[in-house]
Structure 1
Amino acid sequence: MPIAAPQTTDELYQALDENAERPFGRARTVRAEELLETAEQFAEPAPLVHALFELQKAYTYGSEPRKSPVVFARVLTLFDEQPDVFDERMRHQLFWRFKWVANALVQLPEIPLDSLRQWLKEMRDRYEKADLGLQPYYGQAYVLAAHIGRDSAAAYDLWAARTRTRLSDCEACEICERALYHLTAGDDERALDLWEPVLEGKESCQEEPARSVSYALLPLLRTGRAEQARELHLFGYRACRRNPSMAGEAGRHLEFCALTGNEARGLELLAENRVLFDEVDSPLEQLDFLTGVEVLLRRVEGLGHGGLPAAGYAGRAWTVAGLRAEVASRADDLAARFDARNGTDTHEQRRRARLERAPLLDALELTLRTRALDDVAAPAAPAPAAAPAAAREAALPEALPELILRARELEDQGHPDAQGCWARLRTLAADPGYAHPADPAVGPLARLRADLLADAADQAGDKDDFAAAAAGHAEAAALYEEAGLPGHAAVCRAYVTLAEAELPVEGDDTGEAKAAALGAAHTALVRQHEEAAGLDPRQEARVLRLRATALALRFQASGDEEHLAPVFAETDLLEEFALRHDIPVQVSGARLLRAGTHAVRGDLPAARTGADALVGHLAEHGPAWHLPRTLGLRARIHIGLGDAQAAYDDLTEALRLAADWPAHVISTARLRSDLGETALRLGRPEEALRHLTRAAEQEMRTGDRTDAFGTYCNAAQLSLDLGRVEDTIALLDSLLVEPDVAAGELNDRLVAQLRLTRARALHAGGDLKAATAELAALAAESAEWDDDPGSHAMIAAETAVLLAESGEFGRAREAADQALDAHAKAPRHEQLSNCLRELARLQAQQQGPDGLEAARGFLTDAARVADEAREAGYEAHGRSLDTALAYEQGRVHAYAGAYEESLAALEQALALLGEPVADGDRDTVGEWAECVRLAGAVEGIYLERRAPALARLDPAVARLTALGRTGEAEPLTALAARLRDGD
């Protein structure tokens, strides 16, 4: 919807201020152009100057260097004609922007070199006439010399030796130019020494430290500081991605990925910056960006992946090889144009040096999400087989009849290698020229088709796709009947019965409907078993296994103890039958089912006893492929019993053994996820994070994407808890651009959790503006979650706090009201109380007495929430809501200068807290001490009642000291000394 044009100069200034808050890009530039048109309608020249300044800034930082000098020419003309219009601030801006024009002209190869030098002469003359120091002029002269690649040393000396002025570039920008001078000379160490204050965040500006970071990455690698380079890559990339005015910086991050074994991440970042191919209007920035892109694409193509898709210019689909050729042609042309203008070969040489640079590291783990080019090629493909499994697959029979017979033999044994046979047969049978063997031992084609359908249905069932499993087994049963194999058909029909019972039941929150369906399925399975003809012992054992499974699942769904005995009766029947007919896989299956049922029931000692016995049995008798799964079960039992070390040992051994089998046999993702939880329990959070991320990527590779995103969500939260803010943001940014997320195909609540964690990470990283924007968008979306008002209450509350931190108290009040409305439907007492108290504190802290009334409104709401909690019998996890409210009342009134009210509230908080005791909770003692300290400060300093304040502080210090809480006593002791000194 079009924005109404300002009608007065005051409205124009307000609109200009609002536009200045927008990120640089086309939207801000278009609005600046509209505001300039409006400013031209007013008779006063000052608004026009301000509008021109805003438009020039939009062009400069929106990578439109051709337009920036034109706008500045109008400003300069106005200055020459009406100098009195320009106040000191406007005059400073005018002379500052001579540098912007000089920089813009350098970026355009069509501007002759003489014109560049003429502009610098104009700048020098203007500065001398205005009695301004010439250091900024010499700075621009050096930039031009460095760009051309001629006489740069002399130009550097003329600039670097001069004293800075008010119009000099900021410290961070000048540091970058000095460092680049030494970097060009090949002195990495000198450059990095100069860059240190910028890279550490001590000096910054609009473009820094992002610009310096992009240049410093490779020198850091060359000097052995890979970890610092990794951290700065994550931080610096976020500041320049999708930013047209920093396209060159984005290109250097792509180059960094290519030279550290992170080609897959490079392609991911390239896709994220696709807009830069079309939105960068600066030829120099284009050259810099395209060269970085070409370094990446050459590396990917050289590794044999030239056919991979790559994000490039709009309007067509690109492969790596095709885009590389296009980029090379365009970049070569740009370099040639600059060198022709400059009369040197500098840009061709610089390009060649970058393109010919060899990788600096074979592999540097840049992010928590480690991906290889093979993952990009087939993101949902199963993980490659482990070496032993691959060797077994290679040993499969080549002759078709032998392969079919071998597959069936392995299937009868329940051996996991059967799936490799079926996979090869599926490929062969799909060939239009497939000829089925005329071999009585192999049987008809209908039987092979049934075999393949049954195998595919089993795989669907393993992924909980019960509808596909039921349909596949039903079709297989019909084909088995056609082939004259009633026993096989009976087994498939039994699978259909169980799969249909496992289909989700909408609205079945208690599990009763599911339990009923599974009970009915068991009855049907018993009847089918009794009526089945032609079952051999192995087939009969499979049906018995399905019967036991149905009852075990029923018990799991219902938790009803009456359903427990039938489970054990069926597992006993299965085990006895399997022992009698020597079917090891079903003996193990029965015992595993029994131990698992004990665990579901909560009888962990019995579950551990059963798992212990089964581990011993499997180690001696097999089947070996059941051992990792059993160790995984025993590990979860150990976790439940509080023995994290035993769980860790089992899981580590399970993973070692699982490596001997194909990925589909044992879920190593589940084992790794459990190992992550166990490592966390053992106080090894970094190791836990590593296991979680590997588990998640394993789930990605096997197509279990919902599970993968859930695991990654947990990993992101752990990473944030560990203070790895940039790692967290990089991980979530990578996940949120996945195709199924972008298309809205993933569970919206899971995506919301990812975005919520990202907003919290942005906040922790100091990017309050981005964090607030993300949370505000989430709050708007979650308002539509009629089935989950509690989550909306939490999100709206967090949004309100961030808005208040930004000083937007009107919007914060609106968000808090939304949170309160949602809270009324699904109470979140503690979260809402915390939010409202924090809002009151922020408003009083930022606005003082002027914000007291509004702050009291928040506190009144918090009091109402505390009353509701008390009536509902809700107990807070930390201090009581009443105590926390009283303390905040004291702090808010102190910020607002209402000291008597503050002291009264603090007295109430102390009364609610009570005196600290020897075995008291450390947090409670700390809160009591802080409350005493604040009351002493209000009373002794602001109310100037030193004696009563000391009478409060001294006994508190003595009490804390006697309790051995010297740390909590120190601030009170310091305050008492200050009061005695009369300070």
Structure 2
Amino acid sequence: MPTAPQNTDELYQALQENDRRPYGRTRTVTAEELVDAAEQFAEPVPLVHALLELQEAYTYGSEPRKSPVVFARLLTLFEEQPDVFDERLRHTLFWRFKWVANALRALPEMPLASLRQWLTEMRDRYEKAGLGLQPYYGQAYQLAAHVGEDTTLAYELWASRARTRLSDCEACEICERALYHLAAGDDERALRTWEPVLTGKESCQEEPARSVSYALLPLLRTGRTDQAREVHLAGYRACRRNPSMSGEVGRHLEFCALTGNEARGLELLAENRNLFDEVDSPLDLLSFLTGAEVLLQRVELLGHGELPAAGYAGRTWTVAGLRAEVHGRADDLAARFDARNGTTAHTDRREARLDRAPLLDALELTLRTRGLDDVAPAAAPVPRATAAVPESLPELILRAKALEEQGHPDATACWARLRTLVAAPDYVHPDDPAVGPFVQLRADLLEDEASRAGDKEAFDEAAALYEKAASLYDEAGAPGHAALARACALIPAGEPAEGADGAEAKTAELTAAHAALVRLHEETPGFAPYQEARVLRLRATALGLRLQTSRNEEHTAPVLAETDLLLDFATRHDIAAQISGALLLRASTYAISGDLPAALTETDALLDRLRAHGPAWHLPRTLGLRGRIQLGLKDAQAAHADLAESLRVAAEWPAGTIDTARLQGDLAEACMHLGRPDEALRHLTRSAELELRHGSRTDAFHSYSNAARLSLDLGRIEDCIALLDSLLTEPDVAAGELDDRLVAQLRLTRARALHAGEDLKAATVEFAALAAESADWDDDPGSHAMIAAETAVILAQSGEFGRAREAADQALAAHVRAPRYEQLSSCLRELARLQAQQQGSEGLADALAYLEDAGGIADEARAAEYEARGRSLDSALAYEHGRVNAFAGEYETALAALDEALVLLGETGPDEDHADEWAECVRLAGAVEGIYLERPAPALTRLDAAVSRLTALGHTEETEELVSLAARLRDQG
């Protein structure tokens, strides 16, 4: 707290500000400071409010040892100065007797006799105050359940009584009743009891998150897997990292462990690492640790005990090490509770959880489904199909060379085996002229490593490795090999810099590379045919990349000429892989140049050849190209068929042979064109995960970003948030190593999803943070304008109109540098509506100021000859003037503005969107005129004419509200 409050007004303001903070150390420390400040004032009421805030901070910050101490001070104040407590404060005081009972149960050092004594105190106080005893019996039942006694009588004494004003909320009581049935082994009855909470009809601060955590396993046991998945996503988000809901987090970890989602469980454990050290409630900690142990035990049982795990601070943990630590601590806690209670209930419950067998082999919980192999450090993809690797070292070397000459995918497995053998300290190279010298094998391995680095877009590393390999080939007396390695290093890979200058520079670089390749080709005698074919392929590739970069028609013919040289050479020497390579390059060249029919013809011919003569491993790539060409020709059905077939054929070859990530991404595009967005979403996420495994992290995060936006568009809000939460906890994201704009896009989508999911508080925090960060994006003021505008709207929705105005001003300032006419006008109109709607006439001046800003933007757009893609900016602005003035009670002004909007809109026509907008404007004008201005006759004339017009045009759906309003006006008349 910067400065202590100097008067009670400042104290109350500080208490309100602290109440908006999330529970945790910051809020608790501030609450402690505010109690100190309140004690300096002579008035007792501010102190009561400060103590209540402090007890709340302790209770929901998982500090049960401190909560009863604060309550004792409040009780003393009540006894000494009862008149200080008005009806609301008195109600709060008696409500919190239950909080103290909960806190005392959570402390094993608190004797059972003291717990019972407190309940007696509660009963006596309630009776003396003339309050109903149902809340007391509720606490008595909860104590019996906690201890492990027979709860039948205690449950009946509580559940059969009528609720009172001091009873726990409906949602909390529903949870307790459901848990009673769950303990009796009746899953179905428990779930029926929980239904109002699980469906959102009943809720409170801790509900439905608390109920969800308990309902997860019963939902699975009764076959409701889809509902279990759905509530897991929403319920986990509501309790994550919250010390007072650590037990709930533990049950979500257990759920992951029992559904084949151990990798997600480890991810959630890492996200909640703070709970190991921040939970001060022994009872909550026992529940959390037991859930964590269920997960860790399962991971260890599956043979992954050496995986890293997030645990207590100050030490690096493995799964096995953390499980052992957690086991000891949780056993000790359970024993302490049992010793206090005189039963074995907590040990028995803990053992029952640890002994549970998995309920499902696999349940897809999130869009980002990963296994334990995926989270292992430096996990290498396992080939799905690989030819047998020779055992004999000479045979293995010769096999690798032969396969490499053919360009066969199985060469990869041979080189990988050789790399392992060569790295061994006892490696002895065969003394065999056919095998060649050891230095040549080292060069071969470097060349393979360079190729793999290029596939992962580590282009500088690849070039260096090719040069190193070339030097070793020189040493081995293999000039053809050396020249080919240097040729590979000449291709300038990577994307050009943004803008026309970047493309021009890249084009010049590729022109120079081609010239260098031609010189190298001409100056190197003695190439083997397969080597010369590869150099010709590189020459054609360089020109193909130049065409792709420049999109200059003049660059098409040189590519086709080089391709013909390659095709002629490969045909004369019968090099099948290079024949198909040349044909594939030619088809790609036609596609890049825009001649899609020719590209399709070339691809069809190539597919016929591949099916007849091979090589078979070129089929997936060719089918993928034809799929993309079909997309360009707007034949999504044919594209889908080709791309699906490409993926099927690719599965027959080792992983990494084919760029299946791209195929999945292209298939997602085809699905979107076919109106199958859910299928598209699956392909997008598969594409992203493949890119991630391949090491292309930026591409992966771009694909995941697209998947997140699509899931949000589909209304799969919790899926969207869960996906983004997972991505944003990735180590390179947390460390700031990923592109900051890409991370900002992920966070922006998450903020929008939180907003769509009605988590206004969390969304506001994220939007405000992004607005502050994007203010420094000097190279992208347009994005800042939009983020600031969205931030302003969400602040206004929260009633923070001062901060909303500041954010709107930021957006307007950025708009000057990078205009966003339509988007910013829409946000300003929405801000005006929110202010007038929430504040009425008091907010009219500020609302009109927003509309004035929107009017200025409309003028700018008109001057710039900007055409809005949606509603006309002028007609939308006139309509908003009408709506804002109506909210403020300025009905004549409102009607005049709506009439102006109708003039700007013009008569409605066959266009459906325009008809809908026109009808809404007529409806509002009719309501203002007929209801608020009490002029039903002209209003009915207006409405009847509009209904006739719309009906004649076939817009019957748009007439429904107009007919309803007209009927209402006639009834009133």
Q: TM-score per shorter chain, which class?
A: over 0.9
**Structure-2 residue corresponding to 1:207:** 206
Match of 1:564 in 2: 556
Aligned partner of 1:959 among 941, 949, 952: 949
Kept in 2: contact 1:502–1:514 (CA 8 A): no
Distance 1:503 1:754 in 2: 22
Q: Is the 8 A contact 1:508 1:514 kept in 2?
A: no
Whether the 8 Å CA contact 2:681–2:710 is kept in 1: the answer is yes
| Structure 1 match to 2:362 | 363
Partner of 1:277: 276
Shift of 1:45: 1.0
1:932 aligns with 2:922: yes
User: Which residue, out of 796, 801, 807, partners 2:793?
Assistant: 801
Q: Which runs of 4+ in 1 moved over 4 A?
A: 501-510
Is 1:885 matched with 2:883?
Answer: no
Q: Contact between 1:110 and 1:341, CA under 8 Å: does it hold in 2?
A: yes
**Aligned equivalents of 1:174 and 1:560: distance in 2?**
72
Alignment counterpart, residue 495 of structure 1, candidates 488, 496, 507:
488
Instruction: Note the 1:261-276 alignment, pairs <5 A.
Output: 261-276=260-275
Shift of the alpha carbon at 1:116? 0.6
Q: Do structure 1's residue 977 and structure 2's residue 967 form an aligned pair?
A: yes
Structural mapping, 1:394-409, within 5 Å: 395-409=388-402
What letter matches 2:956 in structure 1? T
In the other structure, the counterpart of 2:814 is 822
Give the AA of the match of 2:433. Answer: P
The one of 377, 382, 385 equivalent to 1:384 is 382
Partners in 2 of 1:432 and 1:460 — Cα distance?
Answer: 25
Report the residue type matching 1:366 in the other structure. Answer: L
Q: What CA distance in whole angstroms lies between the structure 1 residues aligned with 2:552 and 2:693?
A: 38
* Aligned with residue 429 of structure 1, among 419, 422, 426: 422
CA distance in 2, matches of 1:95, 1:667: 66
Look up the match of 1:450. 443
* Cα distance change on mapping 1:645 and 1:770 into 2, 3 Å: same
- Aligned-residue offset at 1:523: 1.2
Residue 480 of structure 1 is matched in structure 2 by 473
CA shift in 2, pair 1:608/1:157, >3 Å: same
Partners of 1:46 and 1:196 in 2: CA distance: 41
Distance in 2 between residues matched to 1:502 and 1:827, nearest whole Å: 32
Secondary structure of residue in 1 paired with 2:778: coil
Q: Deviations over 1:5-29 (max 9, x none)?
A: 0000111111111111111111100
State how far apart, in whole Å, the 2-side matches of 1:813 and 1:48 are: 35
Contact 2:881 2:898 in 1 (8 A): yes
SS of the residue aligned with 1:511? helix
- What residue in structure 2 maps to residue 77 of structure 1? 76
Tell me if structure 2 keeps the 8 A contact 1:466–1:503.
no
Alignment of 1:526 onto 2:518: yes
1:706-753 CA-to-partner distances (Å, cap 9, x unmatched) read: 111111111111111111111111111001000010011111111111
Query: Which residue in 2 is equivalent to 1:218?
Result: 217
Map 1:236-251; keep pairs closer than 5 Å.
Answer: 236-251=235-250
Report what 2:47 is aligned to.
48
Q: CA deviation at 1:509?
A: 4.3
More moved, 872-881 vs 837-846:
872-881
Residues 926-979 of structure 1 deviation map (CA, whole Å, 9 limit, x = unaligned): 000111111111111111111111121111100111111111011111111111
Equivalent position SS for 2:121: helix
Measure, in 2, the Cα distance between the counterparts of 1:359 and 1:675: 34
Structure 2 length normalisation: TM-score?
0.99
Match runs of 1:702-721 below 5 Å: 702-721=694-713
- Does 1:776 find its partner at 2:772? no
What's the counterpart of residue 350 of structure 1? 349
Structure 1 unaligned segments of length 5 or more: list them. none
1:282-301 to structure 2, matched below 5 A, reads: 282-301=281-300
For residue 463 of structure 1, report the CA deviation from its aligned partner: 2.6
Does the CA-based 8 Å contact 1:257-1:266 persist in structure 2?
yes
8 Å CA contact 2:496–2:502 kept in 1: the answer is: no
CA 1:841/1:509 → structure 2, altered by over 3 Å: closer, same or farther?
A: farther
Instruction: Provide the C-alpha distance between the structure 1 equivalents of 2:615 and 2:816, rounded to a whole number of angstroms.
Output: 57
* Kept in 1: contact 2:507–2:550 (CA 8 A): yes
Match of 1:97 in 2: 96
Identity %: 75
Q: Which residue in the other structure is 2:227 paired with?
A: 228
Q: Which amino acid aligns with 2:399?
A: R
Q: 1:614 matched to which residue of 2?
A: 606
The structural deviation recorded for 1:432 is: 2.5
Match of 2:117 in 1: 118
Residue 595 of structure 1 aligns with which residue? 587
Structure 2 CA distance, aligned partners of 1:469 and 1:252?
Answer: 47
The CA distance in 1 between the partners of 2:380 and 2:514, in whole Å, is: 33
Q: CA RMSD in A?
A: 1.2
SS in 1 for 2:574: coil
Q: Does 1:254 align with 2:253?
A: yes
Amino acid at match of 2:23: F
Q: Contact (CA 8 Å) 2:373, 2:379: kept in 1 or not?
A: no
Q: Deviations over 1:272-292 (max 9, x none)?
A: 111111100011101111111
Question: Larger deviation: 606-615 or 460-469?
Answer: 460-469
- Of 857-866 and 434-443, the range deviating more from structure 2: 434-443
The alpha-carbon deviation at position 908 of structure 1 amounts to: 1.3
TM-aligned CA deviation for residue 507 of structure 1: 6.7
Q: Which amino acid aligns with 1:977?
A: A
Distance of 1:451 and 1:510 partners within structure 2? 35
- 2:632 matched residue in structure 1: 640
What residue is the counterpart of 1:654 in the other structure?
Answer: 646
Is 1:153 aligned to 2:189, yes or no?
Answer: no
Match of 1:725 in 2: 717
Displacement after TM superposition at 1:126 (Å) = 0.7
Counterpart contact for 1:335–1:348, Cα < 8 Å: yes
TM value normalised by structure 1: 0.98
1:470 paired to 2:463: yes
CA distance in 1, matches of 2:655, 2:382: 8
Q: Which amino acid aligns with 1:546?
A: L
CA distance in 2, matches of 1:215, 1:507: 55
CA positional deviation for 1:267 = 0.7
Q: What's 1:583 paired with?
A: 575
Equivalent residue, structure 1, for 2:508: 516
- Cα distance in 1, alignment partners of residues 191 and 535 from structure 2: 70
Do the aligned partners of residues 805 and 47 (structure 1) sit closer, same or farther apart at CA in structure 2, a change above 3 Å counting? Answer: same
Pick aligned residue for 2:935 from 924, 932, 945: 945
CA distance in 2, matches of 1:186, 1:509: 71
Superposition pairs of residues 840-879 of structure 1, within 5 angstroms: 840-879=832-871
- Measured against aligned partners, the alpha-carbon deviations of 1:864-900 in whole angstroms (never above 9, x if no partner) come to 1111111111111111111111111111111111111
SS in 2 for 1:981: helix
Q: Does 1:322 align with 2:317?
A: no
Give the counterpart of 1:758 among 741, 750, 753: 750
CA contact (8 A) 1:451 1:476 kept: yes
Whether the 8 Å CA contact 1:502–1:518 is kept in 2: the answer is no
| 1:466 shift after superposition | 2.1
2:913 — aligned with what?
923
C-alpha deviations, 1:292-315, integer Å up to 9, x for none? 111111111111111111111111
Match of 1:419 in 2: 412
Partner deviation per Cα, 1:396-429 (whole Å, 9 max, x = no partner): 1112111111111111111111121111111221
Cα distance, 1:151 vs. partner?
Answer: 3.3
Q: Which amino acid aligns with 2:667?
A: L
Name the structure 1 match of 2:688.
696
Distance, in Å, in 2 between the alignment partners of 1:694 and 1:453 is 31
1:252 Cα shift? 0.5
Give the whole-Å Cα distance in 2 for the aligned partners of 1:172 and 1:560. 67
**Match of 1:16, SS?**
helix
1:899 corresponding residue in structure 2: 891
